[in-house]
Amino acid sequence: MPEALHEPFEDIASQRSAEQAGIWIFLASEAVFFGGLFLGYAVYRHRYPEAFAEALGETNLVLGSVNTALLLVSSATMALAVWAGRAGARRLTTAALVATLVLGLAFLGVKGVEYAEDIRHHLVPGHPDFPVDRLGAEMFFSFYWAMTGLHGLHMAIGLGIIGWTAHAVAQERIAWRETAHLHVVALYWNLVDMVWIFLFPLLYLVGRG
């Protein structure tokens, strides 16, 4: 098992505290980054409410709902990995990390199917056969592609880290019991999950009724 304590820290509690503070500062910058995108969406939704509602009707509610369920379950399995890690349960920690990885990959797979369907239906801003003939509708899909694309990129990065962590925990290559490694990974994954929790109503639900 590798050494848990690293320089310049004198005790593991200070190191854990610094690890946690570091990820929270990063998450804060991410929140502001996505906040700008949500703000842009809100401004244009305010300007073109009918166009946004009509364009939203073109997104696939079933696939969006399936993906929401996958991501919510993955958030729970990731939290389980943290709790099991604190208890020193290596098998449960690894199993929960692998479950999170599988659920995340399933999310990206479903998203890929959805993207293919969107392209087949010409739901691409600037496409000559764009199906909604209303000023502002293409703006909705500009946000749709930008926001889901950036979210997907964050997911792909998170899945890479989770996959590596699962392997490292299984092989005892990191000091997963003592350090905040699992908690830091989980916090990043939870933020990705939280972004989707707000993307789902804004891109699939609001105005559909």
Partner 1 sequence: MAERSQTRMILRAALLCVAMLALAASSVAAALLLGGWAGTLVPLGIACATAAIVAVGFMEVPHLDAVSAISAALALALVAVLFGLTFTDELTRAHIPPGFGGMAPGEVSTE
Which among 28-36, 113-121, 147-155, 167-175 is the span making contact with partner 1, rule CB under 8 A? 28-36
* Interface with partner 1 in residues 32-91 (CB under 8 A): 32, 35-36, 38-39, 42-43, 46-48, 61, 65, 68-69, 72-73, 75-80, 83-84, 87, 89
Q: Shortest gap between Cβ of 162 and partner 1 (angstroms)? A: 14
* Distance of alpha carbon 95 from alpha carbon 79, whole angstroms: 12
* Interface with partner 1 in residues 87-126 (CB under 8 A): 87, 89, 92
SS3 call for 35: helix
Element (H, E) at 102: helix 90-120
Q: Shortest gap between Cβ of 50 and partner 1 (angstroms)? A: 10
Of the residues 1, 5, 17, 156, which one makes contact with partner 1 according to CB under 8 A: 17
**Angle, CA of 54, 59 and 63, to the nearest 5°:** 155
Tokens standing for 16? 């854990």
Q: Shortest gap between Cβ of 53 and partner 1 (angstroms)? A: 9
Q: Shortest gap between Cβ of 54 and partner 1 (angstroms)? A: 14
